[in-house]
């Protein structure tokens, strides 16, 4: 039995107490509840009883956490898949040549200083783009966009920690080569990450 618009609104209102923060997750949950209630509702079973049965024992926060985890894993896969694009790699190699050359100019002081210049520039770029995203706060109510941003930031922070010239001396590569490798990775991560993020934003805006 198809639900009325008033009944759909009542389902929506049952998720408006703050347990579900993201608009897209709330919409998915409302659709899920409505579909199951429609399948079970008949002349002998009231909407109110079915809705209450669905709500009883349903952990809204756990449902949201599960979907967020799935979204983050999906975004991580999407970023690494995007990194394998031939044209993206071609552009990143060109960017690396330019940025790596500039960064290596600072290695005339010390390799550590050049490394800090590279990492600081990378983080400042991320922060600038994050601030732009915060201006458009409506987008922060979408779990897919938040997952894309969080995943990019997480990988960036791990890269900042793991990529250190001092730790990689055992490879036998020169500091200059390592700085070029770092520049390549950071450029690749930025370009692939923001391709995924911008694509996610476009899909959300089309909905």
Residue 109 has pLDDT above 70, yes or no: no
- What are the pLDDT digits (tens) for 126-165? 777 766 665 655 667 888 888 988 898 899 889 988 888 8
Does 63 reside within a domain?
no
Between CA 112 and CA 119, with CA 116 as vertex, the angle to 5 degrees is: 135
Q: How many domains does the chain have?
A: 2
Instruction: Please choose, from the candidates 112, 118, 127, 117, the residue with its C-alpha nearest in 3D space to the C-alpha of residue 95.
Output: 118
Domain that holds residue 74: 68-206
Whether pTM > 0.85 for this model: the answer is: no
Specify whether 142 is located in the same domain as 195.
yes
Specify whether 111 is located in the same domain as 38.
no
Distance CA 138, CA 105 (A): 42
Specify whether 109 is located in the same domain as 148.
yes
Specify whether 31 is located in the same domain as 96.
no
- What are the pLDDT digits (tens) for 65-94? 999 999 999 999 999 999 998 888 888 998
* CA neighbours closer than 13 Å in the CB half-sphere of residue 77: 6
- Whether 92 and 86 have beta carbons less than 8 Å apart is answered as no
Specify whether 164 is located in the same domain as 98.
yes
CB count in 10 Å sphere of residue 34 = 18
- What are the pLDDT digits (tens) for 174-193? 888 888 889 899 999 988 98
């Amino acid at each position: 039995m198809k639900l009325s618009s008033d009944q759909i609104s009542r389902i929506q209102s049952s998720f408006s107490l703050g347990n579900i923060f993201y608009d897209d997750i709330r919409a998915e949950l409302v659709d899920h509840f409505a579909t199951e209630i429609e399948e079970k509702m008949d002349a002998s079973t009231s909407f109110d009883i079915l809705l209450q049965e669905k709500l009883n024992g349903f952990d809204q926060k756990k449902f949201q956490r599960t979907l967020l985890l799935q979204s983050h894993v999906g975004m991580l896969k999407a970023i690494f898949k995007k990194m394998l694009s031939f044209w993206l790699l071609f552009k990143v190699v060109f960017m690396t040549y330019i940025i790596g050359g500039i960064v290596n100019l600072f290695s005339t002081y010390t390799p550590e200083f050049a490394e800090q210049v590279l990492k600081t520039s990378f983080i400042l770029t991320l922060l600038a783009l994050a601030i732009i995203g915060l201006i458009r706060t409506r987008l922060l109510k979408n779990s897919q966009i938040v997952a894309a941003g969080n995943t990019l930031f997480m990988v960036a922070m791990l890269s900042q920690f793991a990529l250190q010239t001092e730790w990689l001396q055992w490879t036998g590569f020169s500091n200059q080569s390592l700085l070029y490798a770092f520049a390549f990775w950071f450029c690749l991560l930025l370009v692939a990450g923001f391709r995924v993020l911008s694509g996610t934003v476009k899909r959300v805006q089309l909905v």
